[in-house]
Amino acid sequence: MAEELRFFLRTALYSVFIGTVYWLVSYEVAGSVLLAFVVLAAGSVVGVSLVLARSAAGEIVPVGDGPAHRLLGAAMRVVGFTEPGSPALSQPLEARPQPFPRSSIWPLVAGFATLLAGLGLVYGPWLLLPGIAVGALAGWGWLTQMDRP
């Protein structure tokens, strides 16, 4: 199971625990319902992803192992102790690292443009228009810098 899916599963399990404690301590309906929906949403992400992965890759768990071994293996994979070694079970959401520049002036320029545009909303277009122009320049510089080493 991919680490991204494990994150959502751990979120759902944590929310079940916190929701139960929250209900027992506060007896507040609104917060408990919201925590129940967090569990439902995180569990839905994991469930839909597993159904799609199973339909795309065929059977995920080998059929030859006993049910206790499969259950223990699934629990170990959920908490991140083991990973399947089969190439057919590789991480579905795995990506290569992307190049990223170490230092850049463009975030500072973009912040200045945001400041100008924000002040332009208060004081008028004589600050808003330069803020938009500097923001466009900062966006262009930031995006084109990604091509350079």
Amino acid at 14: Y
For the chain, 149 residues long, give each residue's pLDDT as a single digit of tens. Answer: 677 888 888 889 999 999 999 999 998 999 999 999 999 998 888 888 877 776 665 555 555 567 766 666 666 666 555 555 555 455 556 666 766 667 889 999 999 999 999 999 999 889 999 999 999 999 999 888 876 65
Query: Which pLDDT does position 77 carry in this prediction?
Result: 66
Q: Are 4 and 81 in contact (CB under 8 A)?
A: no
Give me the pLDDT at residue 83, please.
54
Please give the pLDDT value at position 51: 76
Tell me the three-class secondary structure of 58-105, residue by residue: CCCCCCCCCHHHHHHHHHHHHHCCCCCCCHHHCCCCCCCCCCCCCCCC
Question: How many residues comprise the chain?
Answer: 149
pLDDT at 6: 83
Residue with tokens 């091509």: 147
Q: Which residues contact 117 (CB under 8 A, 6 or more apart)?
A: 127, 128, 131, 132, 135
Structure tokens at 120: 């332009």
